[in-house]
Amino acid sequence: MNNITDSSNSKKRRRDKEIEDEEALSLEDNLTFSDTLVALRVMRSQFPRIDKVSIQPIILQSQIYSSVNDRTQVDRELESLRREKVLRVFKLNTGQDDHAIMFLDDYLNQIERVEKRMEEKKQGDLEVFKWFKTSVIDSKLDPSIGHQELCELLALGGKVKDEHISLLINAGVLTRQLIDPDMYWFAIPNIGSVLKGLSQGRKELLSFLNRRRYKEMMLAPLEKKRLRLSPLDMRFHLRDLIGSGHLKTIHTPTGLVVRVSKD
């Protein structure tokens, strides 16, 4: 038993050391990882601080795809981490097939921040947040939930009213699905400015590269550029667009080149 514990602790120490090392490196030096969890933790530590926006770090699924070569491995490891309640996966309202990943502890912290803000404004019956965290989040691991199941799980905490559901929607922890009003997506509160920056940053970066003669640029100087329309940094957008296939990287004798992928 001790050998198993020692092995587990040793593996964790190696991961922590790898994360510390990776944080100090440029994107060119830490574009890929062999382990999905290490990639997630490094990207969590590198999530840009956004002025006047209170949001815990998110990682896009596309960013993980750009960082671990085997997509099947990524999907398998993400599913395992989701079932182990290490993280949650969210469908993003971007008009594209975008998914965000947030560590569960960060998500619970995000909900508590919103709850505290609503408490200060004396907005509604806030006990529903406790029910949501203990009865819904803990047992429903999928990105969506039906109205009936939501009410049944909340009822484990107390008597559920329509106002409770409205409060969760207003707080940004649930969004009603357009194609089926009886279904909800689990959502990340305060993510609006991140989604706006994500959309605008994608367009700005692709437009910049498309205007260049060969629609490419060396990664090292490109990473240092600042985007005007997005509060997210260049590294965030590069990982996203490489993982989604809009950009590709090419090894050259002088370093990595980033090029727009042909349609």
Sign of the four-CA dihedral 12, 14, 18, 21: positive
pTM summary value = 0.86
Is residue 221 scored above 70 in pLDDT?
Answer: yes
- What confidence category does residue 6 fall into, taking pLDDT thresholds of 50, 70 and 90? low
Those residues with Cβ within 8 angstroms of residue 148's Cβ, 6 or more apart along the chain or in another chain: 182
Q: Are strands 59-60 and 99-103 parallel, antiparallel or unpaired?
A: antiparallel
Is residue 28 scored above 60 in pLDDT?
Answer: yes
Domains, the chain: 2-103 (no CATH), 105-186 (1.10.10), 192-260 (1.10.10)
CA gap 178, 131 in Å, rounded: 25
Digit-coded pLDDT (tens) for 52-87: 778 999 999 999 999 998 999 999 999 999 999 999
Digit-coded pLDDT (tens) for 97-153: 899 999 999 999 999 999 998 888 776 778 999 999 999 999 999 999 999 999 999
Average pLDDT in the 174-183 region?
Answer: 92
